Structures are given as C-alpha cells and as structure tokens.
Structure 1
C-alpha cells in the first residue's frame, strides 16, 4: 500500500526535532503536575482552615465570645496559604485552580475580619473605650537643666 516492495530493507531514523519536542512536552507536563500537587496541598489545608472559620462564625453568631488571638492566628494561617499559592508557577488549567483557591482564601480572610469586628462589639469592656475626657498638658516647656543648654 505504501509502495514498499517485498523483501525491501528499510532504515528507520529518529528525528532529533521530534525527540526534543517530546522532551519539552514531558518537562511541561511535569511542571503542570507539580503545580497541581502544590495547589491540591494548599486546597487540603484550606479545607481544614475553612472548617475552623465556619466554627468561629457559628460561635460568634450564637453570641459566644471568641478570643481575638484565635481569629488573628487563623487569619495569619490563611495568609501563609495565600503566599504558598503565589509561589506556585501554574500553567494551563492549573492557573484557574490557583485563582479559585486564591479567591477562597480571600473570602475566608474577609469573613474573619468582619467576625473580628462583630466579636469586638460583643465583648463589653474589651478593646478601646472612647471617652470625652481629654488629658491636659501644660503648654509651657519643662525647664532645661544647665547641662542641656548649648551655646
């Protein structure tokens, strides 16, 4: 069918350009797989942290007082995951997954920030209490000692 006669000898040669293309494609696939693994690892950590966010959200909505340190620590942990996501060099469909996880981190942090504010309002006597009494300072400068005077 191809025009090769019976008992003909064929010499097969490998094209160096196709070998190079195959090698480049394998490296690209390896980079994409590494990116997917890193994003999946961050995603699993985000699942755990999102559960903690929802637990804090339930506590605050039920009127319970959550220590501010706990909220701040959780925000820091979420920001660490955001930094890990930023370090991932994604290509192809991994970019969409990376962006999805980044938005997820952002939503959790925003939720915690609003909870931190509402939790602060729920605590009577905690935080800064605004007053209308101002401290009064003497407008005259304090007397200088003899050794402070420069000529």
Structure 2
C-alpha cells in the first residue's frame, strides 16, 4: 500500500511537470528517498514462491518510480516558470485609411 501511495505521488509530479509547472526539487528528492526506504524494506523481507515474485514486482515498480523521478528532476530544471500578470498589453489599432485611398 505504501508503494501505491508513493507511485500516485510520482504520477502527480509527472503530470505537473508535463503541464509546465515547476515542482520544488526538494519534493522530488524527498519522494526518491521515501521510495529508496521502501526498496530497503522490500529487500529485508524473506519470501518464498508467489510472495517472492510479488516482492520482485514491487521492487521493479519502486525502481521504475525512482528512474521516472530522476528524469523528471532533469526536465523540471528546464521548466521556465510561467509569469501571470493582470496588466494587459494594449496595441494601437491600425490606421483607418480606406483601402482605395492608396490608389490615387
């Protein structure tokens, strides 16, 4: 269940970065550390049979999440923050000279 929660957080960060939102690097690093702790817990569990296969699947899942976060950390650094202002730019309207006046 813990890996599921962390994987959901990875998905949320992935979605935010793909939408152009800059995620604090500390948030990504913390999530990587939490995933690594889960990997250590998985390694310390002794299993046999189907439980061993399940443990291996969870281990691969944790590894994939960490790899995803590493890639996101790089692309997140390239995201330029979007600046939103409430001051609108105005443009001067084009001259109101009639088209046929150019053919005199």
What TM-score range do you get, normalising by the shorter chain?
0.7 to 0.9
Does 2:6 match 1:59?
no
Q: In structure 2, what is the equivalent of residue 91 of structure 1?
A: 48
Does 2:25 match 1:50?
no
In the alignment, structure 2 segments of 5+ residues that lack a partner are: 82-104
Q: In structure 1, what is the equivalent of residue 91 of structure 2?
A: none
Whose RCO is larger (CA < 8 A, sep 6+)?
2
Cα displacement (A) at 1:93: 1.2
Q: Pick one of 70, 84, 98 that aligns with 2:27.
A: 70
Equivalent position SS for 1:100: helix
- For normalisation by structure 2, the TM-score amounts to 0.75
Q: In structure 1, what is the equivalent of residue 62 of structure 2?
A: 105
CA RMSD in angstroms comes to 1.0
Cα displacement (A) at 1:121: 1.4
Cα displacement (A) at 1:123: 4.3
Q: Matches of 2:50 and 2:76 in 1, distance apart?
A: 39
Aligned length: 81
After superposition, the C-alpha distances for 1:7-64 in whole angstroms (9 at most, x for unaligned) are xxxxxxxxxxxxxxxxxxxxxxxxxxxxxxxxxxxxx001100110000000000000
- For normalisation by structure 1, the TM-score amounts to 0.52
Q: Matches of 1:79 and 1:70 in 2, distance apart?
A: 14
In the alignment, structure 1 segments of 5+ residues that lack a partner are: 1-43, 125-151
Q: Matches of 2:49 and 2:7 in 1, distance apart?
A: 26
Question: Structure 1 residue runs of 4+, over 6 Å off?
Answer: none
Q: In structure 1, what is the equivalent of residue 97 of structure 2?
A: none
Q: In structure 2, what is the equivalent of residue 41 of structure 1?
A: none
